[in-house]
Amino acid sequence: MKILVERKKGFDNKAQTLAQEFKNTLGIEGVKEVRYLNMYVITGLDVSTAKSLSYYVFADPTCDNLYYDENIDALLEGYTCFAYSSVKGRYDRRADLAKQCIKLSRKGIKPNVRTATIIAIAGDVNADDMSKIVDYMANPKEVYLINPDKEDLFASAAGDTDSTKNIRGFRNFDKKRTEKFIADEGLDLSVSDIKLIQDEFKNNEDREPTSAEMKMLNACWAGLGRRSAFNAKIGDINFDKSSYSKEVKKIYDDYLDCRKKFYKGSEETTDISLMDIAKISAERIQDRENELIVDEKEKDNACSLRIKCEVDGRNEDWLLMLKSKACTHLLETDAFRTSALNLGEAIRGSIAARSYVHQCMRLSCADNFNKGRDKLAKRKLAVETADGFSFYAKGMGVPTGLVEQACSTDYAKGSVEVAATVSAAPVENVVKKEPAAGDIIVLLGAKTDRSNENNTYYTNPMTARSIQKLFSYDRVTQLVKKCRNGGIGGIAVAISELVSGARVNLNMVPAVNDTIEGMELALSDSSERLVLAIDRLHWKHFKRESEGENLEATVIAEVTKDDRLVLTWDGDEIVNLNQKFIKSRGCVREEKVSIEGKGAKGESTAELIKHPMYKSLKTFKPKKYLDEVLTDLSCCNKKGLIQRFDSTAGSSSVMMPLGGETELTQTVGMVSKLPVQKGNTSTTSVMTYGWAPEILNDNPLEGSKLAVIDAAMKAVLLGVDPSKIYFSLQGCFNDSAVDPKKLGDMTAAMLGAFDAGISLNIPCIGCECDVHEFSKGTKIPNTLVSLAVGVGRAENTKGNVLTGFNNRLICLMPGYKGDGGIDYKAASAMFKDVERLIKSDDVKSVTSVGRGGIFASLVNSMAGNKIGLSLDGRYFAKNLLGKLPKNETDIEKTICDVITRSYYGSVILEVEGDFNAKEFSNKAYGLYEIGTTNEFCELAVLNADKTLMDSGIDEVINKWTKSLLEVFHTEPKIEIQEKTLERNNKFSYAVTMQPHEGCEAKSKAGHAFRLSKPRIVIPVFPGSGSENDVRRAFEAGGGNCTLVNVRNLNGHLIARSFRELAAAIKTAQIVFIPGGFSGGDEPDGPAKFISAVLTNVYVREAIEELLSCRDGLLAGIGNGFQGLINTGLLPFGEYREKTEESPTLTKNDVGEHVSRMINTRIISTKSPWMSRFKVGDVYTMPVSHSYGKFYCTDSELLSYIRNGQIAAQYTDKYGNSGMDIEINPNGSIGGIEALTSPDGKILGKMAHSERMFGENLYKNMPKSENQNIFKAGIDYFKG
């Protein structure tokens, strides 16, 4: 049968947004209306059962219209329509979650579900218009067009059937036949590689290779950029006679000297390569006398450092790990998925090293998507890449600590995105041993999906989160001898790297469907899988622990004595290769390099760091120029982008990505407390980045130097000891084998980073390079990002938001005098002084200088708290340059130029009191007192007694924030808010004045029976993300918590989970449902998975008994609140079927995920959950949700007001309600943030109270007390 779901008018955010995009983005003015329908095709389910489940699984009666087995042509008569479904053979997440919800709701049913999307358009649209719309919506990499009335969505794609065939005559192929063979098979091997393989099979194997073996060797030798120019042997290097080349040559000679010292006579047997240039500075670590050392054991998965972590006052040995990945290929065609996969690969690399990923960073650079003929496609690309990353991070429950979107015209033909993660674990959790014969190899995680050139595989962060949780237990990680990520390269490549010899049974590999066979299973890039080796005796224990976290673990291979890798399929050996031959990597690739100093490479540093807008000036007016700098996509505010990323999951973020009361000041790096499972810590991980894309392409040598010092200085600002900073490089290069000049640029970039690291005594501990060789037709510039990492103390971390009036602004600069560049000795001295200064009480804030210079940095810092400032541009320019031009117009131009130059590595301090600048006047670095803060709420740029710019803060902020608003909007793009605004204004004041007299006494009376340690049950669903935060909050209040995992791998585990959850509830006093990303907000709505569990007969009976017979308490935050609303437990206090009049939580008015700090005012203390508060109290806390808008009818809202059920309301910091999105982030009716049942025993809320527990959190935000509902719940039973 078919079920069609369509949002009702007023809730149809998606349809309205598409209508605007078709008109404004595609320029099709004739579009009048768009209808957007989700179609579910179901077998194995009778009509009556399907209808009974419709409003639990497929739709929300308040928001949706449902149609059963409708004739679609008739339903959409008068509309021009098209439909599409996921390409055959690909995992369908929505269909899978729908199927799982059905299984949870009805025992014994085995449905099959597929989904499709129908888009119907009304208006004056012709065939060309429809073609544009179809191309815009239906990416052939992801979907294919269907006839929804006739298409068989259950048809399967064909699998690989030729894995076992031998390649006839292969050993005797001549060069011509070899070249044809390589082309026909789509191999990335060279003719020389094939010659090696021919010799191996002639001399050692004495047979022809199979097709599977060729694929295996291709993956191991040529896949993943293993044979790219980055890893190639550098042969001859030609330097021209330019000054640029002479500088490169000098650094290259230093590198050769370094090789001699380290390799000690064996340098001739170790190839010179870009990778060697990048990593050889790490050998200087032994020269640094400090407690951090590189951990060699885990270098295969992630860069790893040994550190000390203070836990409850005692020092523990920990590992801190850094991993990064970059992507460009497929971005233009499969942006969302590729971005998610890129982050997933970085995260799983760290998990494979058995560390806990606790923060991630996203960096992106693209062309200006506000200009050009193809700006619309660029905007779509920018949005989809951001959403893909955000989707994966949210699903993992990993906070995104920093988001940056840079802009450079060099990226006109493509874009690049970097994902970086920081993770940590106690040293004792990471046991690494060599697997022995007889050990077993286990495949852990998701089923294997199909991947090929036209079909990128699906990624599921919920499974990756379960793996991370499993590996957070030392009782599990200590069983693992060795582990590898089973993603890119497939399980066969992972096993080859894991052990010396193994026999693999591919028939044991779980697959998404039975059409995936043989080498597809072996080499599929399908994600969310780890391959690990354990002792056979530990298998049952490991299997049990895996099932406990809802993970599939399968024995797929056995470690063997001989050094051979054998893969079998249906009993046949399709691969049987010598591991030494596999690991030889084929022929060594050798490249010629040419270093040339043409073009901008000959420019001085002063010229390179000038703002691009200044370089292109035709006419000059100071204020107009500075206003334009504010709109530069690399300098402008990115609030609308950043708020799409959850930044507070895990309750460990010391800095928010956006700071200040306005949440506008973007932080310079990310800081998080280490992920201590038990106890408290003030030890922090710090990660920063340096990236100068606008300079790197002009002068690779200088661009990479500036990137390294920029990242290092930011780390110092965030509290890292300069002697304990390490950095890693993330490259993304064109594969330039045939172009020595482009390879010369890559070499110069790596040498620049080497020189900066050596000169600053900051070792490079790793380098990850992703190449463009698979990106057909996509040419983008070389990319090199420096990622600095270190440890600090939370109490020493300072923000970059200006804090007060009449404070002085001091700029410290490591060189840049006249036309000069970085002075490394000055920089080293400056590092030490800045470290000392930021610990001083006189220093109130500190920020770095990057693109846009001190001007852009100060605008960023002043916006957070709207503190005005005066910038003495003339003083700064004169003292930095030594002299000024004589002509007044030229002086103004010079000032505007100098204050917007990208002085990477420079620092601006906000100081008060008697800070003595003369103390530093003899230092090698420059110190300039450039201005003061003021209370006039304006930005003034001064030229002696003249003013070049004098603008109010609001004017500055409006210009600074407008550039990205059309792409990453912070206000609703549709008219939904206007339709509800009148209702909200009508009731907002009524909500704040709702009756509460007499309610406090009831909530404070307490439970009839007193308990010293109440028991709390926390159900954990696939995708839950805050259970540990909730547990810590309850335990801090004296509770005894039990986490119950709801598992759905099979019918047995589903039934068992229901029984375990029901049994736990029957012995508990409190049930608390945490927030997160349950079920990935599928199928097409929030908390449907939770709702299916809560309505199970056993669970329902236990909850009803808890509430009615034992006077227990029930609550939910975020996803948990949504589940309580879906079942009727809120607001009615009992289970009820949903109707069209039922309240609901629906999509935010802005149409996107919102993650930010909000203020919430206590309205009623009727509930025991609110008993510790006073009416009128205002608390600040995070929200992070996509479906947070509370909606109900007028009559229902009035009843909540009369009954005192509205516990809290969104307000400003003074407690004033309103419908402005800065106050009410999701457009909730009446501004409702928290709601209780009539008796107060059930609470639901959207703001994450559990994420406010701990000291020194969110230090760049206004301070707020904890809203301790957890202690209140416990006190109800303790008395």
Per-residue pLDDT averaged across 538-563, rounded? 96
pLDDT per residue over 518-535, tens digit each?
898 999 888 899 999 999
Angle between helices 461-470 and 335-352 (to 10 degrees): 10
Residue at token pair 């919920």: 462
pLDDT score for 771: 63
The verdict on residue 712 lying in a domain is no
1023 and 1168 belong to one structural domain? yes
pLDDT greater than 50 at residue 643? yes
Which of 775-784, 1098-1107, 1138-1147 has the weakest average pLDDT?
775-784
Q: For residue 82, how far is the Cα from the chain centroid?
A: 33
pLDDT score for 294: 55
Q: What is the DSSP string of 150-191?
A: T--TTPPPP----TT-B-TTGGG--HHHHHHHHHHHT----H
pLDDT score for 1002: 47
Going by pLDDT thresholds of 50, 70 and 90, the confidence category of residue 997 is very low
The C-alpha torsion from 93 through 94 and 97 to 102, rounded to 10°, is -140
pLDDT greater than 90 at residue 449? no
Which of 17-31, 73-87, 559-573, 980-994 has the weakest average pLDDT?
980-994
446 and 554 belong to one structural domain? yes
C-alpha span between 987 and 980 (Å, rounded): 11
pLDDT score for 454: 43
Best CA proximity match to 846, nearest among 775, 888, 752, 909: 909
pLDDT per residue over 704-721, tens digit each?
999 999 999 999 999 999
pLDDT greater than 60 at residue 1003? no
CATH number, residue 1086 = 3.40.50.880
1020 and 918 belong to one structural domain? no
| Residue 586 CB partners (closer than 8 Å, separation 6+) | 189, 190, 192, 193, 196, 217, 221, 222, 227
Is the Cβ–Cβ distance between 1131 and 1144 less than 8 Å?
no
Q: For residue 619, how far is the Cα from the chain centroid?
A: 42
CB atoms within 10 A of CB 152: 9
Is residue 568 classed as helix, strand or coil in its secondary structure?
strand
Q: Tell me phi and psi for residue 1125, to 5 degrees.
A: -65, -45
DSSP state letter for 223: G
The verdict on residue 656 lying in a domain is no
What residue type is assigned to position 853 of the chain?
Answer: G
Per-residue pLDDT averaged across 81-101, rounded? 84
Burial of 256 (0-12, 13-18, 19+ CB in 10 A): exposed
pLDDT per residue over 189-233, tens digit each?
889 999 999 999 999 999 999 999 999 999 888 765 555 667 788
Which of 239-248, 587-596, 793-802 has the weakest average pLDDT?
587-596
pLDDT greater than 80 at residue 729? yes
The verdict on residue 368 lying in a domain is no
874 and 930 belong to one structural domain? yes
Residue at token pair 């809730």: 11
Which of 41-55, 347-361, 1049-1063, 1132-1146 has the weakest average pLDDT?
41-55
Per-residue pLDDT averaged across 990-996, rounded? 54
951 and 1046 belong to one structural domain? no
Distances 668 to 711, 788, 908, 1096 between C-alpha atoms, Å? 9, 12, 12, 48
Sequence-ordered alpha helix ranges (H) in 882-939: 888-899
pLDDT greater than 80 at residue 888? yes
pTM equals: 0.93
56 and 135 belong to one structural domain? yes
The verdict on residue 1170 lying in a domain is yes
Q: For residue 544, how far is the Cα from the chain centroid?
A: 31
pLDDT per residue over 745-757, tens digit each?
989 999 999 999 9
C-alpha span between 49 and 42 (Å, rounded): 11
pLDDT per residue over 554-612, tens digit each?
999 999 999 999 999 999 999 999 999 998 888 887 888 999 988 778 888 999 999 98
1210 and 1093 belong to one structural domain? yes
CATH number, residue 913 = 3.90.650.10
940 and 1064 belong to one structural domain? no
Is residue 981 classed as helix, strand or coil in its secondary structure?
helix
pLDDT greater than 90 at residue 998? no
1247 and 1270 belong to one structural domain? yes
The C-alpha torsion from 386 through 391 and 396 to 398, rounded to 10°, is 40
End-to-end CA, the chain: 55
The verdict on residue 955 lying in a domain is yes
Going by pLDDT thresholds of 50, 70 and 90, the confidence category of residue 1063 is very high
pLDDT score for 1118: 94
C-alpha span between 647 and 1260 (Å, rounded): 13
The whole domain housing 1060 covers 978-1001+1010-1278
The verdict on residue 1045 lying in a domain is yes
Beta strands in 256-396 (DSSP E): 293-294, 303-311, 314-327, 356-366
890 and 966 belong to one structural domain? yes
pLDDT score for 159: 55
The verdict on residue 564 lying in a domain is yes
Sequence-ordered alpha helix ranges (H) in 478-533: 490-498, 518-523
Best CA proximity match to 330, nearest among 385, 370, 391, 373: 385
**pLDDT over 70 for what percent of the chain?**
91
| Residue 658 CB partners (closer than 8 Å, separation 6+) | 639, 642, 643, 664, 665, 666, 667, 864, 1156
814 and 962 belong to one structural domain? yes
1167 and 1219 belong to one structural domain? yes
pLDDT per residue over 672-695, tens digit each?
999 999 899 999 999 999 999 989
| Residue 80 CB partners (closer than 8 Å, separation 6+) | 120, 121, 122, 125, 130
pLDDT greater than 90 at residue 854? yes
Q: Which residues pair with 848 in a beta bridge?
A: 907
C-alpha span between 894 and 900 (Å, rounded): 10
pLDDT per residue over 5-30, tens digit each?
999 998 898 899 899 889 887 889 99
Domain count within the chain: 5
Going by pLDDT thresholds of 50, 70 and 90, the confidence category of residue 288 is low
The verdict on residue 731 lying in a domain is no
pLDDT score for 54: 85
Is the Cβ–Cβ distance between 1160 and 1267 less than 8 Å?
yes
